[in-house]
Amino acid sequence: MDEYTPLDLKAFYNAGLALLAEQGAAPIGPQQFRGLPFLVGADPQYCFIAFGDRWQNVPLSIPIAQRTQSVIVAHRLLASGITDGGPVGEHIADYIFTYQNGNEEHESIRDRFEIAEIPTAWGQLPFRAVPDQSDSLPARDIGRFDESGERQAEAIQAESSGYYLWAWQNPHPEQPLASLTIKPAGPCFLIAGVTLGHSDEYPFVRSSARPCKITVTDPVVNAIQIRRGGRQKGDFLV
């Protein structure tokens, strides 16, 4: 089994790119977000599951029927009250994870925490979700003069190309999941993709790569390395 497998949500699509209106476009079809696979609908007319308003207003259950370490949801809020002075943390929906033994785990989805509007105002990134794109590094020695200050910052904070990714880590991975139920609370939002994680890890990298030194004690391996003009006896950097 692959470490991450996207679910096919085609049976539940009820809206397309027209739903975004002045909020702009979003990537559709099979995607890689932060190195994770997502299966977004490819038909511009039907590629999202929309909730609120005239869309889905009752709970919707998506079958899972397998063990999983995590569930990653690519979603997007369509109207936020924060930009008009509304409160942070408005209740958007509940995501209910039901196990095959009948037990449930409930997660509240809140504006500015697990989900946010796109485009997102400066300084308003959600606390518990990440953009669908990774942070990047600017060119260090070339570029426009008026962007020199940005290059000195040495990192470019990612912006979302269409969705925010929220990851739920399963507290009982030994128990098979039956379904994910989305219970809308009123505000309009959409789900573009759901991916299951089968690796015992947090899906989003939080730290940079670190050099690692391995000391090999096998005399045969050491002798081969020395004959080839390799590193000092027993030491390898990776």
The sign of the torsion formed by the CA atoms of 96, 188, 126, 200 equals: positive
Query: In this structure, which amino acid lies at residue 98?
Result: T
Give the list of residues 6+ apart from residue 152 with CB closer than 8 angstroms, or none.
none
* 43: confidence class by pLDDT, cuts 50, 70, 90: very high
Phi, psi of 229 (to 5 degrees): 75, 30
Query: In this structure, which amino acid lies at residue 122?
Result: W
pLDDT digits (tens, 9 = 90+) for 77-101: 998 988 888 899 999 999 999 999 9
Lowest mean pLDDT among 112-116, 139-143, 189-193: 139-143
Residues 192 and 26: beta-carbon distance below 8 Å: yes
Query: In this structure, which amino acid lies at residue 171?
Result: P
pLDDT digits (tens, 9 = 90+) for 136-164: 888 877 888 887 887 777 788 899 999 99
Q: Mean pLDDT for the chain?
A: 89
Distances (CA, A) of 108 to 2, 66, 93, 184: 29, 23, 6, 10
pLDDT digits (tens, 9 = 90+) for 120-136: 988 889 999 999 999 88
